[in-house]
Amino acid sequence: MSLENKFNDFKTKHDLDDDAIAEILKIFNESFIELAHKLLNTEVKEVKKIEKTEYKKWATKIAAEHAAEHGLSLDDFDKEKITKKDIDELVKQRVKTVPKLKTEKREIKVKCHGLTKNGEPCGKPGTETPEGSKNCFCFRHAMDWKTYEVSSDSDEELHQEPIISN
């Protein structure tokens, strides 16, 4: 329903004449213009400050992955741009508040089966075992774990004895 139709319905409902509606329209228009001027005169700094507090984001993809690894989300932070350092600090704070239980169980640490850019074995702990994988990988290498494992077909070929024909 258009604004004009709303005013006409109001006119009919309250049995107003055309002069009364014209006066209401004049008051409405003046109020609207006054509001627009106030909004335009709002300092840009205040608007930017409001925008900054409303939008949070990860500083890098690595920070987002690191946060996911620790079960954290953007809502856990009070900053606009969250870095890996911020994540580590929050994790340290949470570890301090949770009492450690004394257990006799020894945790077996498995190294990541991925390779670094230099072709050397990754030194990070293998925290994830992707579905279908035989080995553990760190969170970075877990995404493309297939490139670091030998496929089952070629694995069988390696263990078969050579066929010698006469």
* Residue range 23-66, pLDDT digits in tens: 888 998 898 888 888 877 765 545 555 554 557 888 899 988 98
Cα gap 33→143, rounded to integer Å: 56
- Same domain, residue pair 113 and 154: yes
Record the tokens describing residue 147, joined without a space: 């490139």
**3 pLDDT more than 70:** yes
Tell me the residue range of the domain where 116 lies.
109-159
Residue 102 lies in a domain: no
First to last CA, the chain: 92
pLDDT tens digits, 116-153: 888 888 888 888 888 888 888 898 888 888 888 876 54
Q: Residue 106: its pLDDT value, please?
A: 56
Residue 28 lies in a domain: yes
Residue 66 lies in a domain: yes
Residues paired with 81 in a beta bridge: 57
Residues paired with 125 in a beta bridge: 111
- Looking at the structure of the chain, the number of domains it has is 3
